[in-house]
Amino acid sequence: MTVRVRIAPSPTGKLHIGTARTAVFNWLFARHHDGKFILRIEDTDTERSREEYTQNILDGLTWLGLNWDEGPIFQSHRLDVYRQRVQDLLDKKLAYYCYCSEAELDTMREAQKARNEAPRYDNRHRNLTPEQQATFAAEGRRPVIRFKIEDDREIVWNDMVRGHMSWRGSDLGGDMVIARAADRGGIGQPLYNFAVVVDDVDMQITHVIRGEDHIANTAKQILLYEAFGATVPKFAHTPLILNMEGRKLSKRDGVTSIFDFKEMGFVAEAMVNYMTLLGWSPPDSTQEFFTLEEAAQQFSFERVNKAGAKFDWAKLDWINSQYLHSMPVEKLTDLLIPYWQAAGYEFDSISDRAWLEKIASVIGASLTRLKDAVDMSWLFFTHSLTYSEDATHQLQQEGSKAVLEGVLSALNNGTELTEASSQDIIKQVIKAKNVKKGLVMRSLRAALTGDMQGPDLIQSWVILHQRQFDKPRLEQAIATAN
């Protein structure tokens, strides 16, 4: 048997981290078994589906590296197939037309609520005669189509995450609507639980991997698989992603869209690594870093937790920082350029490439997110500085002006500045002014960067010198020291 799994997002919003994590688990399982990973777009909700959301989903999965083997397959292109399968169930007397009005259903629910009963459809139109149907139709009622669910039926399956699962038919809310009413009679828009089963049967899906919030749907869908005489796939219901308070992660907790994470400066490798750890642990519990391919070699549902996975921003930040710190400078520069451009920094990404790579190299070890580079590197792109309180205090220290004048004098002698020659200048100033190295270094940092903390001072000085920013800053600092 060839393993065939699918990810089936609805284009009614941007790619959510919960959907993306489900896609990761599907992808890992398929690759572990040399199977197929199929992308299906469930766009039958015509009122809420948007082309831009579809593109966002495709782009998001591509950015994460979750390449699919088949698809995308659009449900909206298969409406005739669904209608034919509905008709098949009608012909087999496994489904029927229900003419209940919304008012009747509301009255039914209120009565059940008054009796402290769970709301459910009481199957009142299951056995209408042709004459009754004709009467309702003459009244202008448009029927939905319901699938018969027997109350005494027990639905069981062995979930790959949760083990033995059992539902009673009486707990599923009565006969299930599988198609909406049509404007001009006949069979209308198919509903989720019906269309997803038809798709899974036609696409020969062997394993359905999705969030635990679909468990109740699974019981209903198993009945539909059986009604079609199809092999029921195996199911794995993965834990939900929770916030740190234990509630389901939502927009109230900050960003949840995959591209929101990208814009914040998280890299794809870190995102898929972290999402893999949201509910799954590798055999070596100390291993925290792996590529998708490495994770696929080890992945199994025996190591997927039942409990919800808490989303930890600090852990994601740490994982992202480790990827950034070990990233080749060429790749890091490619990723940082868009952030610098968005910040309005002036440079030519081609002719200034070598200079930009030096900036990326000097700040890379301090990055947590790519977006941090905007604040960390602004000093390399600006002509003049605003001093922090600590920097101003340093420039006003006794001896600070003298050492800065000594540094400026050495630069004016035409010395080509490199990391080695900058060290020589510092030594010369220490000797000539008879001061300690700390005073020179602190004064130089304040003068060149406007602050007392920042990236490596010597490397920063060389970078600034290449733009001829160092001399004007020394002159500005000397004036401030006065």
- pLDDT tens column, 334-350: 999 999 999 999 999 99
| Domains in the chain: ranges and CATH | 1-68+239-326 (3.40.50.620), 80-191 (3.90.800.10), 327-372 (1.10.8.70), 389-480 (1.10.10.350)
Which pair of structure tokens corresponds to residue 265?
């400066």
**Confidence band of 46 (pLDDT split at 50, 70, 90):** confident
Average pLDDT over residues 472-481: 92
pLDDT tens figures, 120-173: 999 999 999 999 999 999 999 999 999 999 999 999 999 999 999 999 999 999
What pLDDT does 184 receive? 67
Question: What single string gives the DSSP state of each residue in 78-124?
Answer: GHHHHHHHHHHHHHTTSEEEE---HHHHHHHHHHHHHTT-------T
How many distinct helices (H) and strands (E) make up the chain? 20, 13
Higher-confidence residue of 448 and 187: namely: 448
What pLDDT does 249 receive? 82
* Residue 400 CA: distances (Å) to CA of 243, 419, 427, 482: 51, 22, 15, 10
pLDDT tens figures, 108-126: 999 999 999 889 999 999 9
Q: Which residues contact 338 (CB under 8 A, 6 or more apart)?
A: none
**Confidence band of 185 (pLDDT split at 50, 70, 90):** low
What pLDDT does 38 receive? 98
- Residue 358 assigned as binding residue: no
What pLDDT does 281 receive? 93
What pLDDT does 399 receive? 94
Q: Are 119 and 149 in contact (CB under 8 A)?
A: no
| Whether residue 288 has pLDDT greater than 90 | yes
Residue identified by tokens 């009754």 is 132
**Confidence band of 70 (pLDDT split at 50, 70, 90):** very high
Which pair of structure tokens corresponds to residue 148?
């018969």
Active site amino acids:
251
pLDDT tens figures, 202-232: 999 999 999 999 999 999 999 999 999 999 9
Average pLDDT over residues 467-473: 94
* Angstrom distance (rounded) from CA 324 to CA 135: 70
**Confidence band of 44 (pLDDT split at 50, 70, 90):** confident
Return mean pLDDT, the chain.
94
Question: What single string gives the DSSP state of each residue in 146-189?
Answer: EE---TT-EEEEEETTTEEEEEEGGGS-SSEEEEEEPBTBSEEE
Which pair of structure tokens corresponds to residue 232?
């029921």
Average pLDDT over residues 422-428: 95
What pLDDT does 90 receive? 96
Q: With pLDDT > 90 as the criterion, what percentage of the chain qualifies?
A: 90
